[in-house]
Amino acid sequence: MPHRRSPFPEPPLLPTPSSSASGLAVKDSRVRAFYEILSRAPPAEVESVLSRCGITPLPEHVEVVLRLCYAFPAAAVKFFRWSGLSLKHTPYAWNIMVDILGNNRMFEPMWDAIRSMKQEGALSIATFASAFGSYCAAGLIKEAVMTFDVMDRYGIPQDVVVVNSLLSAICREDGRMADAADFFDRVKGTVAPDADTFAILLEGWEKEGNVTRAKNTFGEMVIRVGWNAENMSAYDAFLTTLVRGSQPDEAVKFLKVMKGKNCLPGLKFFGNALHILIQQNDHVHALAVWNLMVTDSGLVPSLVMCNSMITLLCNNGNLDAAYHLLDEMPYYGVFPDRLTYNTIFDCLIRNKRAREAESFFTEMLKNEQLPSPKNCAAAIRMFFDQYNPSAAVEVWGFMTEVCVLLDDECANELLLGFQELGRLSELRRYADEMLDRGIELRASTVEKLKTAFYKAGRQDAYDRIVRRLKQH
């Protein structure tokens, strides 16, 4: 059975419930000895073995040992009773015992422990938070709510902290938000909710993707607790629900309202929202969210965020916005990298904007942001298609000067471009150069060279290339 997170804080360096002594650096030999007994002795013999071990437990030993015993609750109970004969258990040890029993769905013994804790004066909100979590993890929401109903009989007031604890336990479970909403509606008249209450609910609606309920809860939150920049987790959850729920228009509207209330969210929300919108290929709303982030919030985007936005804009043909973002990046303290430039260069190539691509290629080299071999091959092809062979040669020249290993694809595209233009002298010269460099020519390229040379009556030039290919 998987263990859920314990609802009460752990002392420093305390092992996690799922840990074993063998997997921990347990320095205290007494703790290790107790653990070995509890993990190996049959439950019926635990107390007798403990009595014979000759080790006197201390309160701190009990706490650590119990944290190791979630997997064998019966032995944990025996150890707890045995150690209680010689010491007074701490409230923390009692809480661990309650958590072990609840985690293992031993609810009757759990309540026996709670009643004993009442007599010992050891009860706290953490005790009931543990019970809430155990019942909810077992799918027993009604029993969790009944536990809340009887808390006052045990001297624990039913305040907003307790309400939030139960709501959090319910909301952690998948598909139980209706139960959480029912409980909230029942108690909000007697226990005034706070900002944390609404944050818990809004995070639950976000997990379920229920936009309608999120809007209702957010509206009620504004009425009851007003606007406050400290309530950011609630705002983040609500806005993310809208964006993920295909209502980015609504998210942008609420962001503008929040701007007026000085409650704009932080980089975490904007990063998540942009990620969602980029996945949805929604460049219009992504740009609106981006502008709110960098202009109105004054937040500084990362290089990854800038590159993702530029990719989205380029994929949607919005080159003007991509150029603008490229120019703005240094003002954010973020400098474009090779990916930034290659993304825009690729977009220019795909959209056959030859003049801009030629100019941008020059800028890339000036800024020492080298184009990728794939982009170079595509650029050579595009420049020839747009009747700009000099630009294609410029790209090839860059490849020969900078690249240690020349790209075969670029070479073949250059030859095919000259072949299509019928410029056979350049074709033969560059073919010789490529063969000198050990570049492999595709069979399809060689066949097209044959057609071009034979058509022009220059079989000798083609035959020379073929001889060299055989020697290659």
pLDDT tens figures, 299-344: 889 999 999 999 999 999 999 999 999 999 998 899 999 999 999 9
Range in 270-274, 380-384, 457-461 the model is least confident about? 457-461
Counting residues of the chain whose pLDDT is more than 70, the rounded percentage is: 93
pLDDT tens figures, 103-118: 999 999 999 999 999 9
Computed over every residue of the chain, the mean pLDDT equals 89
Check residue 2 and give its pLDDT. Answer: 37
Mean pLDDT of 110-131: 95
Range 157-160, long-range pairs (CB < 8 A, 24+ positions): 158/187, 158/190, 158/191, 159/191, 160/191, 160/192, 160/193, 160/194, 160/196, 160/197
For residue 389, what pLDDT band results from cuts at 50, 70 and 90? very high
Contact 276, 302 (CB under 8 A): no
Distances (CA, A) of 378 to 342, 357, 396, 463: 12, 11, 11, 29
pLDDT tens figures, 415-436: 999 888 889 888 888 888 888 8
Q: Return d(Cα 215, Cα 238) in angstroms, integer.
A: 8
Q: Return d(Cα 280, Cα 243) in angstroms, integer.
A: 10
Return all residues near 234 (Cβ < 8 A) that are at least 6 apart: 195, 198, 199, 202, 203, 218, 221
Range in 35-39, 96-100, 154-158, 375-379 the model is least confident about? 35-39
For residue 128, pLDDT beyond 50: yes
pLDDT tens figures, 246-289: 999 999 999 999 999 999 888 889 999 999 999 999 999 999 99
3-state SS assignment for residue 368 = coil
Check residue 1 and give its pLDDT. Answer: 34
For residue 7, pLDDT beyond 70: no
Q: Return d(Cα 362, Cα 395) in angstroms, integer.
A: 10
Mean pLDDT of 132-150: 96
Q: Return d(Cα 33, Cα 52) in angstroms, integer.
A: 12
For residue 448, pLDDT beyond 70: yes
For residue 22, pLDDT beyond 50: no
For residue 9, what pLDDT band results from cuts at 50, 70 and 90? very low
For residue 44, what pLDDT band results from cuts at 50, 70 and 90? confident
Place of tokens 């939150």: 221
Check residue 404 and give its pLDDT. Answer: 52
For residue 352, what pLDDT band results from cuts at 50, 70 and 90? very high
Check residue 26 and give its pLDDT. Answer: 52
Q: Return d(Cα 167, Cα 146) in angstroms, integer.
A: 13
Check residue 27 and give its pLDDT. Answer: 58
Check residue 466 and give its pLDDT. Answer: 79
For residue 11, pLDDT beyond 50: no
Mean pLDDT of 29-49: 87
Mean pLDDT of 7-18: 40
Single pTM value for the model: 0.80
pLDDT tens figures, 149-198: 999 999 999 999 999 999 999 999 999 999 999 999 999 999 999 999 99
Return all residues near 111 (Cβ < 8 A) that are at least 6 apart: none
